[in-house]
Structure formats: structure tokens, C-alpha cells
Structure 1
Amino acid sequence: MTVDLDPRRRIERLLFDGEPPVRFAPVAWLLLLLRYPYALVRDLLTGELNLRAMSLVYTTLLSLVPLVAFSFAVLKGLGIHRDLEPLIYEFLRPVGPQANALTAQFMTFVENVRGGVLGSIGLAFLLYTVVATIQKLEEACNFAWHVDRPRSLMRRISEYLSLMVVGPLVVAIALGLLGAVARLDALRWLTEHEFFGGLIAGLGRAGVWLFVTVALTFLYMFVPNTRVRARAALAGGLAAGALWAMSGALFAGIVTASTRMVAIYAGFAIFLAALIWIYLSWIILLIGAQLSFYVQNPRYMRAGQVPVRLTSRLRERLALSLMLLIARAFLAGDKPWQLRRLAERLEIAGSALSPVIQSLEQAGLLTMTDREEVLPARDLEAIDIHDILQAVRDERQYETWLLGRAATEPAADALADGVEAAIRERTSGQTLRELAAR
């Protein structure tokens, strides 16, 4: 009997394999819950989420000012553009006592962003940085959700612009409601009492956490190019919101107590602290996105972000199932399938399904529209079952230049040719239309 001394393997066997060592319901529930933090910590240690968070920090430095300036332009028409300043301060509060000065300097930058000062080229660059940030956020969330195909260009333009216009309006409405509540006479009377004043202050801090949670939940449902269930998005939003609030309080305490950093970096200490906080904020957001994926797809917690490698047999079965679903919808006149719906229907990650669809596209069997709908590329009577199998076989990509040069054994070649002949004989004369009509 061999004993596995690798602690990671032993932990994974305890969490994911078989029954718990103790047949006690609370222990089983505890092990089930521990799977999520273990999977998230493991994914963080692999480094991919860290790299994407660093990339988002760099893009944020270029786009944060123009993004807020664009929001100001939308809100200025409503006369409430200054209401966005408290939101910026709340985001920078963990930086420490210098948050007020940093917010004031930031607002000065924003107010200097005017069309007459920048010109058309400058405004175009600022708009590009905003779109690039949203695009990088989509790529990071797609990575967390195992999605290979991003939105099409037309969908990006329409949905990104909608988010940039509607987002500031939603923020303004939320801030307006909070301001209206704060101006109520009854609330002012309550705040004058010590007990109720402290309770209302606590509710105000909880309101900030609730606002962040709702915003993150919306992002987790909207940004990934796949269908995210509300329950999974809410779980990620709640966890990320709580983690953001706790990290903010801890980070603010560390910055306040770090007199050595101020002594070493002097005036640059505030910018260094802001950079670290932006990085932590992006890490927390990506952790929430990863958690929402695991809540909706718990079977992927064991593998994590390891690329899903399909066997040749599974590729063939997926290709046949894909073509069958698409053909049936085409014949029935139903709504065409989309990649994300197909991945959900077949219960497989989009990153694993995408290469199969690409092989079928290259073989001229499928085509993808601008609306990301998958349709047959030619008449169903002209699509043979054997062509579908050949399109997704691994060796099809290399046989023209590699298979002819490989020094294979004649006996092995004869056996492989016999298997190929049997497959061709079994599928000979069968078309996709005949299979879809069964």
C-alpha cells in the first residue's frame, strides 16, 4: 500500500473524492463549503488571475480619469455631476488620511478633461482607454468562466456604450435616493441620539457594502460572454463585496500605521498606496467572478483553470451532438443555437467546446453569424456523417505533412486502415438530415 505524501493531493482527495472520513452531516457540509476557498486560493497561487489583475491596474491608470469624465458628461446634463465625488472618495477611503487630497486632485483632473482642451484626437484616445478597460475586464471574466470567444465587434460597441451611459445614471439615481433619505427630518432627529446615531452610521456603512455588492452582481451577470444565473452572480457579488469591505478596513489601518512607508516614499506614498488598493480591488473582483463560475459549475472545482483536453472520442461525440442540435433547430425553424447556449446544453466549458466548433467551421460544415448564432454552412443533405467525424480528428490537422513522414510499422498501418474502413462503411451514405429526422 502506497502513501501519498503530497499535501495538495491529500487535501484534494479529502475534499473532492468519495465520502467524508466521518459520517456526520455537519462535517460533510463543512467539507463541501471548504471546496470553494480551496479552489480560489489554488487558482490565485497559479498566477493567472494575478497577471490579469496587474494588467487591469495598468489600464485603470489610463482610463480611470476619462471614465469618470465621461460619467460626468452624462450626469452634467442632469445637473447632478458633483454627486459622483462621494463615490470616488468611498473607493479611495482605504488609502488613508490622504484620501481627501487624492479625491480633490482626481476631481481637478476630471474637470480639466474638456473637448476644447483635448481636441478630437485626445477625446478619441480617452474613449479608447475606457473601451479597452471594459474589454480587458471582459477577457478576464471570460477566462474565469472558461469562455474562449469574446463578444462580436457589433455587440461590443452597442453593449459597452450602453454600459457607459446607463451606469452613471444608475449611480446618480442611487446617490439621489440616499441623499433624499439623509435629508429626512425624522432621520436627522434620530442621528442626534447617541444610540440611534451609531446605528444609522452602521447602516450607512452597510449601505456602501450593499451598493458594491449589487454593482458586482450586475457585472458578473453582464460582462462574461456566457449565460450566468442570478444565484451564481449573487453568490460572487456577496462574497466579493464582503471581501472588499474587510480588505478596505484592514488596508486603511495598515496605511495609517505605516509611518515608515511615508518616510521612505514621501509624497509618492499616497500614489503607491492607491496603486496597491486598485490592484487589491481588481483581485477581489476576479475572485468573485471565479467563485460565481464555481457556484454554477461545481464540477470544475477539482480541475480549476487547467486547460480541458478532450480525447478524440469525446471530440467526435461532441461534434455529432453539436451538428445534430443545430440541424434539428434549423429544420424546425427554431431560434438558432449560440455557443454559450450549446455549452450549457452539453454541460461542458465553452473553452473546451470552442475548438470543436472551430474545426467544424474550417471544414465548411458550420458558420457563425455576427450575432454569434451557429448555423449549418451548407444543405443538410450535403453533410455526410463521416465528414463530421473527419473534421474533428486530431490527425486531420497534421496528416498532410506529418503522417506521410512518420516511420510507422506496416502492421500498425494495416490495423488502423481497417478501423478507418469500418468507420467509413458504418457511416457510408448517412447524411445529417437523415440523422436529424430520427
Structure 2
Amino acid sequence: TASFFSADWVQRLAAIQPFGVVLDAMAALLPYLLIIAAFAFIYLFVPNTRVRPTAALVGALVAGVLWQSTGWLFASFVAGSTRYTAIYSAFAALVIFMIWLYLSWLILLMGASIAYYYQYPRQMLLHGEPAPLSPRLRERIALAIMARVATAFYARAPAPGAEALAEALRVPMHAVGEGLDALVSTGMLCPLEDPHGHTAYLPGTPPERTTLAEVLAAVRRHGERPGLDLHMLRIPAAAQRAAEAWDASLEDTLSGVTVRDLTREDMA
């Protein structure tokens, strides 16, 4: 930037108004634009995943402004840090370099986090931990996942991945992940990985033969292991009969409704 604005023809142009004002504004803005472009390139192409250009640009905008502004403040600090040089001698340059290196990486990672949360806004959870899902919500998410996957299958549309499902259902990724794990473990969904490492999902069983009762049973049984399942429970006989009656009523109500029926309204 300094070399460009110190060229003779630029100096002659700056003497002519209003080009002088424009060049002064460019001299102030160009370093920011160059740094923002560099950060956008890093956020767009370095991560081993698909990053949206808008997300990379938002993260680069924040990181670039912070980088350039922090660099200006840090340069002012270094210019006035003669007493540190007197105390630490030659080691002062190393200490100052380590401080700037730390700040630089902090700004880089901050911009990357902003780009990530801009692309996945539903990952911003309170306290930084995934919110637990209620059993009812798990069941609804599983039914919605099966309906979305089957609808895309019959429409011959691209198979949806976890990201597309989370965006369509307006739930966090971990909520979709729990439903996908339950359905994949029972074979109702089949994961398909493309050459770029992105996983999409296809029906693992014919949707017209897969009942909603089977889908709900897969979600309700997910996580049960030998030694930690219904067979180890010792519950009163009345409670056992009530639970069995509930299971039987659910099976009777939904046994005639298939996943294919969930897609008819979406495809109409």
C-alpha cells in the first residue's frame, strides 16, 4: 500500500482535487480491505468443510477490522515501550512478538467462530452445552426426518444431509444427530458419503412398508444396551400391564400408517 501511494503518478494525481480526498480515503480503507480479503480466503478454503461465502465474509469482516485496529494500537504500544527495551534488552523484541502472535491467533479464531455461528446459528446454545431433548421431541424429530428423507427420495431430489435437515426442521445439529443415530442403527436410514466427505441419507427400508410405530419404537429403544434395558427392570405388575397396554395401543393406532403417507401432503 505504501509503495503504491508513493508512486510519482499517484502523487501527481493526489495533487488534483477531488482525487486527493479519494486517494486519502483509499489509503485509509485499502489496508482493511486487503486484510478482510485475506481472512475471507482463509475461512473459505482452509477448513476441511464447505463454508458459505457469506459466512466467510462476515467472519473476515470482523477479524479484519479487529486485526487492523489492533495492529494500529499495538504499533502505538511498541513505539512507546522504550522502557521495556531498557529492562529486557534484546529479549523485549521476543516478548513483544509473542504477545502479537497470541493476539493474532486470537483474532483469527474469533473470526472463524463468528463465521461458524453465522452459518450454523442454531449451534449457539446456552452455557455452551447441548440442551437435552425430551422423549416427545425425539419422537417428533425422528418422524420429521423420515418424512423429509422419503419426500426427497420420491421426488428424486438430492438426498438431504444433517445440515439440511437441521435447517429445515429449525433445530440444533445435535438434535438431528440423535434422531439420525437411532434411525441408522435400526437400518431405517442408509448413510451415503460423497467424495467430498459429506454424508446424505436415503431410506434404508421401503417407506411404504415402514410404519410410524416402527419409527417411534426405534427412537424409544435407542440407547438400550444388554444389561441396561427393559429386561433388567423389576417393576410392579400393574405398572408392567399399563406399559404394555400403552405399547399395544400405540401399535394399533399407527400400524396402518407408513412413512410413505407422511410424504403425500408435501408432494401434493
- Could you tell me which residue of structure 1 aligns to residue 126 of structure 2? 303
The whole-number CA distance in structure 1 between the counterparts of 2:75 and 2:6 is 29
The whole-number CA distance in structure 1 between the counterparts of 2:96 and 2:66 is 18
- Could you tell me which residue of structure 2 aligns to residue 412 of structure 1? 239
- Could you tell me which residue of structure 2 aligns to residue 383 of structure 1? 210
Percentage of pairs with the same residue: 33
1:427 to 239, 254, 264: 254
The whole-number CA distance in structure 1 between the counterparts of 2:175 and 2:87 is 49
CA contact (8 A) 2:14 2:23 kept: yes
1:322 to 121, 124, 145: 145
Report SS of the residue matched to 1:334: coil
- Could you tell me which residue of structure 2 aligns to residue 246 of structure 1? 69
The whole-number CA distance in structure 1 between the counterparts of 2:173 and 2:180 is 10
RCO comparison, higher one (Cα < 8 Å, 6+): 1
- Could you tell me which residue of structure 1 aligns to residue 160 of structure 2? 337
The whole-number CA distance in structure 2 between the counterparts of 1:422 and 1:219 is 56
The whole-number CA distance in structure 1 between the counterparts of 2:131 and 2:50 is 18
- Going from structure 1 to structure 2, the CA distance change for 1:411 and 1:205 (only over 3 Å counts) comes to farther
The structure number with the bigger radius of gyration is: 2
- Could you tell me which residue of structure 1 aligns to residue 176 of structure 2? 353
CA contact (8 A) 2:67 2:107 kept: yes
CA contact (8 A) 1:226 1:340 kept: no
Note the C-alpha offset of 1:373: 2.0
CA contact (8 A) 1:339 1:373 kept: yes
1:230-241 aligned within 5 A: 230=54, 233-241=56-64
Give the TM-score normalised by structure 1.
Answer: 0.50
The whole-number CA distance in structure 1 between the counterparts of 2:49 and 2:127 is 19
Note the C-alpha offset of 1:196: 7.8
Q: Deviations along 1:123-168, whole A, 9 cap, x unmatched?
A: xxxxxxxxxxxxxxxxxxxxxxxxxxxxxxxxxxxxxxxxxxxxxx
CA contact (8 A) 1:227 1:340 kept: no
Q: Which region of structure 1 is more displaced relative to structure 2, 402-411 or 362-371?
A: 402-411
The whole-number CA distance in structure 1 between the counterparts of 2:211 and 2:70 is 58
- Going from structure 1 to structure 2, the CA distance change for 1:302 and 1:357 (only over 3 Å counts) comes to closer
- Going from structure 1 to structure 2, the CA distance change for 1:250 and 1:324 (only over 3 Å counts) comes to same
Amino acid across the alignment from 2:201: V
CA contact (8 A) 2:56 2:115 kept: yes
Note the C-alpha offset of 1:289: 3.8
Q: Deviations along 1:5-60, whole A, 9 cap, x unmatched?
A: xxxxxxxxxxxxxxxxxxxxxxxxxxxxxxxxxxxxxxxxxxxxxxxxxxxxxxxx
Q: Deviations along 1:200-236, whole A, 9 cap, x unmatched?
A: 4663342121122233345555648466472x55443
The whole-number CA distance in structure 2 between the counterparts of 1:241 and 1:318 is 39
The whole-number CA distance in structure 2 between the counterparts of 1:271 and 1:382 is 69
Match status 1:313 vs 2:140: no
Give the TM-score normalised by structure 2.
Answer: 0.76
Note the C-alpha offset of 1:422: 2.0
- Going from structure 1 to structure 2, the CA distance change for 1:436 and 1:243 (only over 3 Å counts) comes to same
Unaligned 5+ runs, structure 1: 1-174
1:139-154 aligned within 5 A: none
Note the C-alpha offset of 1:252: 2.4
1:402 to 223, 228, 236: 228
2:200 to 350, 365, 373: 373
The whole-number CA distance in structure 1 between the counterparts of 2:30 and 2:102 is 23
Report SS of the residue matched to 2:158: coil
Unaligned 5+ runs, structure 2: none
The whole-number CA distance in structure 2 between the counterparts of 1:362 and 1:287 is 37
Amino acid across the alignment from 1:415: A
- Could you tell me which residue of structure 1 aligns to residue 99 of structure 2? 276
1:216 to 39, 58, 80: 39
CA contact (8 A) 1:324 1:435 kept: yes
Note the C-alpha offset of 1:187: 0.9
Q: Which region of structure 1 is more displaced relative to structure 2, 277-286 or 215-224?
A: 215-224
- How many matched pairs? 258
Match status 1:287 vs 2:110: yes
The whole-number CA distance in structure 1 between the counterparts of 2:64 and 2:56 is 12
Report SS of the residue matched to 1:374: strand
Amino acid across the alignment from 1:397: G
Note the C-alpha offset of 1:320: 0.9
Q: Deviations along 1:70-94, whole A, 9 cap, x unmatched?
A: xxxxxxxxxxxxxxxxxxxxxxxxx
The whole-number CA distance in structure 2 between the counterparts of 1:291 and 1:284 is 11
